[in-house]
Amino acid sequence: MDNKFLFHRELHPSKVAIIREVYDNENSHETFELELERALEAGCSIIFVEPSRLGDETARWIAVGNCLHKTAVLSGIGAIATGRYCLNTLFASCKV
C-alpha cells in the first residue's frame, strides 16, 4: 500500500495539543486538568497527555462514554424491535 494514501490529511499545529508533565508546584495535577479542558474546548483533534495519572483517568472516562453510547444504541434498537413485535401481536390478538 502506498504511504500517500495513509496520511492524506495535513496536520495543522492549531489542532494539536500537548499536555506536558512538568511539576512546578503542588497543584500541578489541577494545572494538567485545566490544560486538558482548554484543549477540549479549543476543539483540538489530537491531544497528547504526558501525565500518566491524567491519561489513565481520561482513558477510563472515554471507556465509560463508549459503554454508555453502546448501551443507548442497543436500548433504542431493542425498544424499536419490541414495539414492532408487540404492535403485530397486539393487533393479532385484538381481531374479532
The answer to whether residue 10 is domain-embedded is no
d(CA 96, CA 92): 9
- Give the pLDDT of residue 6: 43
Region 1-6 average pLDDT: 45
Among 9, 49, 14, 16, residue whose Cα is nearest residue 31: 49
The answer to whether residue 3 is domain-embedded is no
Domain count, the chain: 1
Using pLDDT thresholds of 50, 70 and 90, give the confidence band for residue 95. low
Tens digits of residue pLDDT in 14-36? 788 888 888 878 888 888 888 88
Tens digits of residue pLDDT in 42-89? 888 888 888 888 899 999 999 999 999 999 999 999 999 888 877 766
The answer to whether residue 70 is domain-embedded is yes
The answer to whether residue 57 is domain-embedded is yes
The answer to whether residue 52 is domain-embedded is yes
- Give the pLDDT of residue 89: 66
What domain range includes position 75? 16-94
The answer to whether residue 5 is domain-embedded is no
Give the distance between the most distant pair of CA atoms in the chain: 80
